Amino acid sequence: MTARAWYSPGRVRGQITELSGWRLALLLLVTGAVSSLAMAPLYAWPLLIPGLGILLWTVDGARGTSCPLRAAFWRGLLFGFGYFLAGMFWLAYAFITRGPDFIFLIPFAVPALAALLAAFWGGAMVSYAALAQRSEWRVLVFAVSIAVFEWLRGHVFGGLPWNMPAYAWPAGGPMSQTASVFGVYGLSFLTVLMLVTPALVVGSAITVRRVMPVLAGMFIFLSLFTFGVLRLGMPDPGIEPGVRLRIVQAGLTQEEKWGEGGVELARDRYLALTAAPGLDEVTHILWPEGALPTYMLEDDGQTLSLIGEMFSHDQVLIAGITRRAVEDEGELYYNALAVLRYQGGTPRLVGLYDKVLLAPFGESIPLSGLLSAIGLSEFTRLQFTPGPGPVVMEIPGAPSMMPLICYEGIFPDFVRSGAPRPAWMFNLSNDAWFGDTSGPRQHVNQARYRSIETGVPMIRAAARGVSGVIDAVGRMPVVIDPQAEGAFDVDLPRPIAATLYSLWGDLPFWIVCLVTLAGIVFQRRKVFASYFKLRP
């Protein structure tokens, strides 16, 4: 056999379809891990073409086994495990940052989270194996199954819609603009459909029947790109008059902030940067999530007083804080945002928001009751309490604003639930937990999609993350590097008209899914009738 024949596409495809055992498991794990490079910061989306193709072929092979649904689940799970473990490895850095007592949790917590997220891909492959017809148009079922289970991943058990297929497209680029119509779940469906269709013609005779889905995928790609270019060419709505924002980036690591003398270090650094030249021309000062390692509102009157000495009349500080409150349940802790207006040097609290969606392990401990029961209560004592719900705040001297603390900015439904429609969003975060990894880059890309979906600009202040200005179509005219330190004065962009997604939400996405399901049921009505022992 010649080398050319051994490497022929048809032979390779056949070998992949027939793989089993550890070779199949290794292939899926590696393929999933390589596919994760499609996410930020590389955006190597072409890698999804072979990645999704191999997943399709292996699950097609599962349909010929004695237990096709079980085989399909495990193949989807293995691919997803490699994908999420490689794409979210940076979570381990947070355990290292938290201290040596937590490092032993890394081999348990990070793979466990990857496995939990991968289970949704396993479920998607079960759906595909059960529903798909044996024709080239089965790729439609493949794409719908993944998109539906991605929606479930974003909602079940609180949800974690991280690194969905849609995020392979850099926010603010032409392909990302489709999220303004269909949202990221709809864009994920279109992304999978476009990128999996080439797998139909690899190693197969070229026929009109096989080529049609590929041509349809190319047409979708060109349509999305053209729509994005046209949308990005819309007139700029301009900036909000009379509003000048100062984003303060202190550049402190978690070790510096929480180490010996960290309180004084953080306070002095933030105060010095806040007081940088040009402060008199600024109307609002923005500090990131948990800027100071103190309970600023309750115990840190010295900081509030020092801020008052430098602020002129009516300047506003919008800061991420940690606060505690004594309530009926006892002493509770909140990750919060405070809006302080200084009049004559005296601070007045004019707005307060408590974070609603708490990050697992960082702010809430999954299965904390079980950990306490087995003697590990030490690891559950520093949990936060969730706030009552999303809000749109009236800010003195600025249009209405929706606060999004940390990863609240990755949830499309949460952002849409703010009413009335805000004029801007403020996403404050503490990405210092994750070091100089891909995590902060993935975070900002996903947050930018919320502006695309809603047509509402966003200001981002992220400690050792990507800060800056995000306009109403997801572009970043001002980008502040994670390692940068200083005070950055920026203008506030205006919003554009409400997008179709902001009005309809995921309704168009679900219509496509239901139409696809109806078509499958109609085409395979005799098969489904036999499942339920009904007359066809």
- Token pair of 38, please? 């499609």
Q: Which of 174, 171, 213 is nearest to 194 (CA)?
A: 213
> Of residues 355, 363, 453, 513, which has the active-site annotation?
355
> Of residues 289, 363, 408, 453, which has the active-site annotation?
289
pLDDT in tens, 162-204: 999 999 999 999 999 999 999 999 999 999 999 999 999 886 6
Which DSSP helix (H) or strand (E) runs through 244? strand 239-249
Q: Can you give the pLDDT at residue 467?
A: 98
Q: Can you give the pLDDT at residue 350?
A: 95
- Residue environment code for 525-535, b if the CB has 16+ CB neighbours within 10 A, otherwise e: eeeeeeeeeee
Averaged pLDDT, 111-115: 96
- What is the DSSP track for 200-240? GTTTS---HHHHHHHHHHHHHHHHHHHHHHHHHTSPP--EE
Cα 107 to Cα 295: distance, rounded to the nearest angstrom: 33
If phi over 0 gives left and psi between -120 and 50 gives alpha, with beta otherwise, what is residue 39?
A: beta
Q: Confidence band (pLDDT; 50, 70, 90) for 99?
A: confident
Q: Percent of the chain at pLDDT above 70?
A: 91
Cα torsion for 184, 186, 188, 191, to the nearest 10°? -130
Q: If you search the block for the tokens 């889905």, which residue do you land on?
A: 213
Question: Is residue 404 a contact partner of residue 447, using CB atoms and an 8 Å limit?
Answer: yes
Q: Can you give the pLDDT at residue 122?
A: 98
Is pLDDT above 70 for 337? yes
Averaged pLDDT, 72-92: 97
SS (H, E, C) 497-508: CCCHHHHHCCHH
Cα 12 to Cα 15: distance, rounded to the nearest angstrom: 5
Q: Can you give the pLDDT at residue 191?
A: 98
> Of residues 136, 257, 363, 406, which has the active-site annotation?
406
pLDDT in tens, 258-296: 889 999 999 999 999 999 999 999 999 999 999 998 888
Cα angle, residue 161 at apex, residues 159 and 165 outer, rounded to 5°: 150
Cα 42 to Cα 314: distance, rounded to the nearest angstrom: 43
Q: Confidence band (pLDDT; 50, 70, 90) for 496?
A: very high
Q: Can you give the pLDDT at residue 75?
A: 97
pTM of the predicted structure, to 2 decimals: 0.93
Q: Confidence band (pLDDT; 50, 70, 90) for 4?
A: very low
Lowest model confidence (mean pLDDT) among 94-98, 400-404, 472-476: 94-98
- Say which residue, 493 or 210, is predicted with more confidence: 493
Whether 256 is a known active-site residue: answer no
Lowest model confidence (mean pLDDT) among 77-91, 415-429, 443-457: 415-429
- Say which residue, 72 or 134, is predicted with more confidence: 72
Whether 406 is a known active-site residue: answer yes
Average pLDDT of every residue of the chain: 90
Averaged pLDDT, 119-127: 97
- Token pair of 439, please? 């995590």
Whether 526 is a known active-site residue: answer no
Averaged pLDDT, 153-158: 92
Q: Confidence band (pLDDT; 50, 70, 90) for 81?
A: very high
